[in-house]
Amino acid sequence: MMAIWFSPLQQNPQQQMSVTPALACPIPLERYPHVLMAHGGGGWLMRQLIEEMFLATFGPELDWQHDAASLTLAGKRLAFTTDSYIVTPLFFPGGDIGSLAVHGTVNDLAMSGARPRYLSLSFILEEGLPMETLWRVVRSIQQAAEQAQVRIVTGDTKVVDRGKGDGIFINTAGIGTLAHQEFIGPRSVQPGDAILLSGDVGRHGIAILSARAGLTFETTIESDSAPVAPAVLDLMNGVCVHCLRDLTRGGLASALNEIAHSANLHLQLNASAIPIGNAVEGACELLGLDPLYVANEGRFIAFVPDADAAQALACLRQYNQAAQVIGHVLESSSPNRFRHGQVTLKSTLGATRVLDLLSGEQLPRIC
Amino acid sequence: MMAIWFSPLQQNPQQQMSVTPALACPIPLERYPHVLMAHGGGGWLMRQLIEEMFLATFGPELDWQHDAASLTLAGKRLAFTTDSYIVTPLFFPGGDIGSLAVHGTVNDLAMSGARPRYLSLSFILEEGLPMETLWRVVRSIQQAAEQAQVRIVTGDTKVVDRGKGDGIFINTAGIGTLAHQEFIGPRSVQPGDAILLSGDVGRHGIAILSARAGLTFETTIESDSAPVAPAVLDLMNGVCVHCLRDLTRGGLASALNEIAHSANLHLQLNASAIPIGNAVEGACELLGLDPLYVANEGRFIAFVPDADAAQALACLRQYNQAAQVIGHVLESSSPNRFRHGQVTLKSTLGATRVLDLLSGEQLPRIC
């Protein structure tokens, strides 16, 4: 028989036991002692966390947030990516957390030029979630996977106590096959490249916001959540694609800023060429949001040589009439250690302004 | 200019919009209208959810919870698996949520006989989490990945509002390569097979419980959390392995029940052969827990032909002296539509009792 002692409950048991050797936290703790919503918002606070903590620890070749990692296994090139989905509310016009969890991950695979093949699916459920709600989400996942032609092959279910989650969180990881040999990503972007946008922007964010706040617009604004792989694979068939990126958290402006930063180039856009629906434009005006920073879930940008731009546009318009050439790539003007590359927007009146990276998302928990 | 209406806030917007055609929920809603903690606990409520909702929707060949899915891509066989980690507290004797998130997923890959190669890593952080805590977990992940010889190649970060999460949840998905052609899993189990256990059981669950409740035992009980792939790959080198399973939620008894159920066979165990440390046995006696149902994170069972049992045991003892042959596989006695296969335990006094599947985990949020 052994003895047992009940010691007073420790408020923070993690403070008591050290498992890893001390190494200073790379994020300045006096300035950011805690994780903020903006650390997940797609802006520069998230970039700081990714670059200074995650890339510094796991290696600079790590893919984090954007694109998919490219692996070579026995001579075969694969793409591998992951995303967790925490959108609130769970259901919104044009989609739900289930369809989003499929579209988001297959689109990340497509952005590396891969054909999406397999998904994993992991649920973190909150105790007390209506079983009927789970069932509706499961059905939606099944339909979205069928539409995107991916198979869900492995899964996991965890349940957390009431008040320690928020209904349903979903993680999907995806594997795709890469048929091409080119590297598709920011470092392939060249000065002179045309920048194409696959459709109108801002619908996903406004759809979420309206569902969350109980807003009703004259026209129901539906999320653009959809798989984009068919358009991408079709585009790559005839055109040399240098870089692709889907527009999610932080919208068009953040995606362009990430690419300008990674490629150390200057991206110049024409405001008049950027397609924004009337309903989204009106809603953004009323709500004080900039549609260029509003989240999307079925839109992407493609960088192609200017000579291929017309053919690329014709291809994208088969999938969405609103597709446009929205700008071009220039040499970076004055790189310094604080800023690599920048994005500028030429207004309809001819004035040019810098389109900067925000600290976080205008609206949290969008995907 | 467009009009906007502010309608009263909807309590449950998901109740208002239907996105999927109605199809009756396969879980009886009058009995289980809500998700319970036990639906994630590794017992029969989780089995019901998996079989009747997930496998029925995504296909019976889906891997859920156990083992890894086996994929063939361009003639190359891969294993693919996923797990989310929600353990509380985040740090416990012998490990933390970070090392657990690496070990759990590489062990799932090893259970299909695969060599773990790549991991994805996705965080769901709660607003207000101390940055220092995140950093300690990131360091622990890095060290565990290095030890397990896997590379973290893609990641994602999401942040949820305070009170909508619980510090840190982690999802890892893993890709491994399969060198062998045999199918390792319950349907390869044969009557006459010997059942081997790779070490003593119950340490992870008791370590978590003591950290959570502030219990102090005479001896500190450390989690057994560790990668098992080296032992498994070594075992497979010389021995024909029919089935492998790591013992996590629900412990040894639940893992054996799952295999007996899937293989429709009778597994007979000798109680005296099952290695349980004195400290774990004492703690379980005091706390009223059955160590055969307590979670582990670095233990597995292997089914091998009886003729190979001695060689297999010698191999496993190189990694853990406590490894044992704990029983054998018999023909199933009386299968019926409610019970396929069963697990029985012969006590040291010669009496035999059925080791059943519980409805959930004795202790929630263990992994």
Q: Fill in the DSSP letter of residue B179.
A: -
A93 and A205 assigned to the same domain: no
Helix (H, G, I), strand (E, B) or coil at B258: helix
Q: Are A200 and A251 in contact (CB under 8 A)?
A: no
Encode pLDDT of A144-171 as tens digits: 999 999 999 999 999 999 999 999 999 9
A156 and A219 assigned to the same domain: no
Q: What is the CATH number of the domain that holds B167?
A: 3.30.1330.10
B7 and B144 assigned to the same domain: no
Range picked from A62-66, A99-103, B13-17, B351-355 for highest mean pLDDT:
A99-103
Closest C-alpha to A133, from B39, B82, B20 = B20
Q: Which phi and psi (to 5°) does residue B166 adopt? A: -150, 70
Last residue of a domain, one of A64, A80, A106: A64
A200 and A324 assigned to the same domain: yes
Find residue A310's DSSP bridge partners: none
The count of structural domains within chain B is: 3
Share of chain A above pLDDT 70, in %: 91
Encode pLDDT of A111-126 as tens digits: 999 999 999 999 999 9
Domain containing B97 equals 68-181
Length of chain A: 367
Q: Are A163 and B88 in contact (CB under 8 A)?
A: no
Q: Fill in the DSSP letter of residue B163.
A: T
Is residue A364, in this structure, part of any structural domain at all? no
Q: How many CB atoms lie within 10 A of CB A216?
A: 13
Q: Chain A window 54-93: which residues touch B at a Cβ cutoff of 8 Å?
A: 54, 57-59, 61-65, 68-69, 71, 73-74, 76, 78, 80-86, 89-93
Angle between helices B229-238 and B309-317 (to 10 degrees): 150
Is residue B201, in this structure, part of any structural domain at all? yes
Q: How many CB atoms lie within 10 A of CB B11?
A: 8
Type of residue numbered A10: Q
Strand A265-270 with A69-73, pairing: unpaired
Cα-based distances in Å from A77 to A177, A319, B22, B202, B315: 6, 27, 40, 41, 35
Helix (H, G, I), strand (E, B) or coil at A56: helix
Looking at residue A73, what is its pLDDT? 82
B125 and B232 assigned to the same domain: no
A159: nearest CB among B39, B59, B217: B39
B118 and B246 assigned to the same domain: no
| Tens of each residue's pLDDT in chain B, 367 residues | 344 443 333 434 444 444 445 689 999 999 999 999 999 998 999 999 999 999 999 987 787 756 788 888 877 889 999 999 999 999 999 999 999 999 999 999 999 999 999 999 999 999 999 999 999 999 999 999 999 999 999 999 999 999 999 999 999 999 999 988 788 999 899 999 999 999 999 999 999 999 998 888 778 899 999 999 999 999 999 899 999 999 999 999 999 999 999 999 999 999 999 999 999 999 999 999 999 999 999 999 999 999 999 999 999 999 999 999 999 999 876 554 445 689 999 998 889 999 999 888 778 899 9
Last residue of a domain, one of B40, B64, B88: B64
Looking at residue B42, what is its pLDDT? 87
Q: A157 versus A19: which is more confidently predicted?
A: A157
B270 and B339 assigned to the same domain: yes
Is residue B366, in this structure, part of any structural domain at all? no
Distance separating alpha carbons of residues B33 and B38, to the nearest angstrom = 14
Mean pLDDT of A126-133: 97
Distance separating alpha carbons of residues A233 and B320, to the nearest angstrom = 51
Cα-based distances in Å from A302 to A194, A259, A273, A345, B154: 8, 11, 15, 17, 22
Looking at residue A153, what is its pLDDT? 95
Q: Could you tell me which chain A residue has the CA closest to the CA of B157?
A: A40
Return the C-alpha torsion angle A85, A90, A94, A95, nearest 10.
50
Cα-based distances in Å from B319 to B104, B199, B265, B316: 18, 9, 29, 5
B172 and B208 assigned to the same domain: no
B39 and B164 assigned to the same domain: no
Looking at residue A99, what is its pLDDT? 98
Chain B touched by A161 (CB under 8 Å): yes
Is residue B364, in this structure, part of any structural domain at all? no
Q: pTM, whole model, 2 decimals?
A: 0.92
Looking at residue A254, what is its pLDDT? 94
Indicate yes or no: CB of B14 within 8 angstroms of CB of A63.
Answer: no
End-to-end CA, chain B:
53
- What value, to the nearest 5°, has the Cα angle with vertex A18 and ends A15 and A19? 135
Q: What is the CATH number of the domain that holds A285?
A: 3.90.650.10
Last residue of a domain, one of B181, B216, B248: B181
Q: Fill in the DSSP letter of residue B301.
A: E
Q: Which phi and psi (to 5°) does residue B324 adopt? A: -150, 155
Is residue B177, in this structure, part of any structural domain at all? yes
Is residue B148, in this structure, part of any structural domain at all? yes
Indicate yes or no: CB of B155 within 8 angstroms of CB of A62.
Answer: yes
Chain B touched by A319 (CB under 8 Å): no
Query: B120, B123, B143: best mutation site toward chain A, by most A Cβ within 10 Å?
Result: B120
Q: Residue A339: which pLDDT band, with cuts at 50, 70 and 90?
A: low
A206 and A345 assigned to the same domain: yes
B272 and B248 assigned to the same domain: yes
Across the beta sheet with A265-270, the strand order is A243-246, A300-304, A194-197, A324-331, A265-270, A342-346, A352-354
User: Number of residue pairs across A and B with CB atoms under 8 Å?
Assistant: 398
Is residue A366, in this structure, part of any structural domain at all? no
Helix (H, G, I), strand (E, B) or coil at B134: helix
Return the C-alpha torsion angle B203, B131, A164, A12, nearest 10.
50
Q: Chain A window 100-129: which residues touch B at a Cβ cutoff of 8 Å?
A: 117-118, 120-129
B201 and B347 assigned to the same domain: yes
Mean pLDDT of A294-316: 98
Q: Of the ranges A237-246, A292-301, B65-74, which one carries the lowest mean pLDDT score? A: B65-74
Chain A touched by B210 (CB under 8 Å): no
Mean pLDDT of A192-214: 95
Is residue B319, in this structure, part of any structural domain at all? yes
